[in-house]
Structure 1
Amino acid sequence: MESLSPNIFVNDINETIGFYELLGFKVTMSVPETGRDLVWAMMTNGSVTMMFQTFSSLADDLPEIHRTDGGSLLLYINLKNIRAFFEEIKNKVTVLKGLEVTFYGATEFSVKDNNGYVLTFAEHE
């Protein structure tokens, strides 16, 4: 295995793109390639790649894919310069847990994305 790129199901792709752009992600690919009626988008920031797809785009093929907002998913994202990143975004997003040093030596903070997912950012100094 070489990498993991989650494909996260969302209700509104454009709203999700807007949220992740606040975190420094950029759209690298989408379906369709242009326009606002997207059903899938890939976004990257550094070496982190995440994909987002609408529930409705797979409703016929995979009806098992469904949930209410705030599903049981936490994405753990390692980065450098966590304090500067926190200061840059803290007033733009919903912070669930501010900067703290954990018992295992990582500096972390957690935010809630526009779909109810939890993102924990960490720096292992």
Structure 2
Amino acid sequence: MESVSPNIFVYDIDATAAFYKKLGFDVAVTVPDDDGGLTFVMMTCGTATFMFQTFRSIEGQHPVVRRENGGSLLLYVKMKNIRVFYERIKDTVTVVTPLEKTFYGATEFSIQDNNHYMVTFAEDE
């Protein structure tokens, strides 16, 4: 295995792309839907990749995918320069856990994204 790229189901893909752009992600790939909007967006930042897909695009398929925002998913992102990044975004996002040193030696903070998913950023300092 070389990497993992979560495919995260959302209701508002445009708002989601805008939120992740604030975190420094760029749109790499899009797939349009039949109405002229988007049904899928792949976003990257460095070597991190997140894929976002609308719940509507899987209607009638994959019943195991819950049709609600948030849930028991935490995205854990390892990065460099966490303190600079934290200072840059902390006033523009919902911070769940402020910047702290953990008992296992990582410096971390967690935010809630616009879909109520939790994203933890970590650096081994």
Shorter-normalised TM range: over 0.9
Matched, 1:24 2:60: no
Instruction: Tell me the CA shift for residue 105 of structure 1.
Output: 0.5
- Three-state SS of the structure 2 residue aligned to 1:15 is helix
Aligned 8 A contact 2:39 2:57 in 1: yes
* Alignment match, 1:41: 41
Unaligned runs of 5+ in 1: none
Q: Look up the SS of the partner of 2:38 in the other structure.
A: coil
Residue identity opposite 2:39 in structure 1: V
Q: CA deviation at 1:36?
A: 6.0
Counterpart of 2:32 in structure 1: which amino acid? P
Counting aligned pairs with the same residue, the percent is 58
Question: Does residue 13 of the first structure (1) align with residue 13 of the second (2)?
Answer: yes
Q: Secondary structure at the match of 1:56?
A: helix
Residues 45-98 of structure 1: CA distance to partner in whole angstroms, max 9, x if unpaired? Answer: 000000000011011222332243221000000000000000000011000110
Q: Distance in 2 between matches of 1:36 and 1:90?
A: 34
Q: Name the structure 1 match of 2:74.
A: 74
Q: Is the 8 A contact 1:14 1:36 kept in 2?
A: no
**Greater shift in the superposed pair: 91-100 or 59-68:** 59-68
Q: TM-score, normalised by structure 2?
A: 0.94
TM-score, normalised to structure 1's length? 0.94
Letter in 1 for 2:21: E
The question of 1:53 aligning with 2:41 is answered no
| CA 36–15 in structure 1, closer or farther in 2 if over 3 Å, else same | farther
1 CA distance for matches of 2:109 and 2:50? 19
Indicate if the aligned counterparts of 2:55 and 2:67 stay in contact, CA closer than 8 A. Answer: no
Q: Per the alignment, do residues 51 and 96 of structure 1 end up closer, same or farther by CA in structure 2, a change over 3 Å counting?
A: same
Q: What is the root-mean-square deviation in Å for CA atoms of aligned residues?
A: 1.5
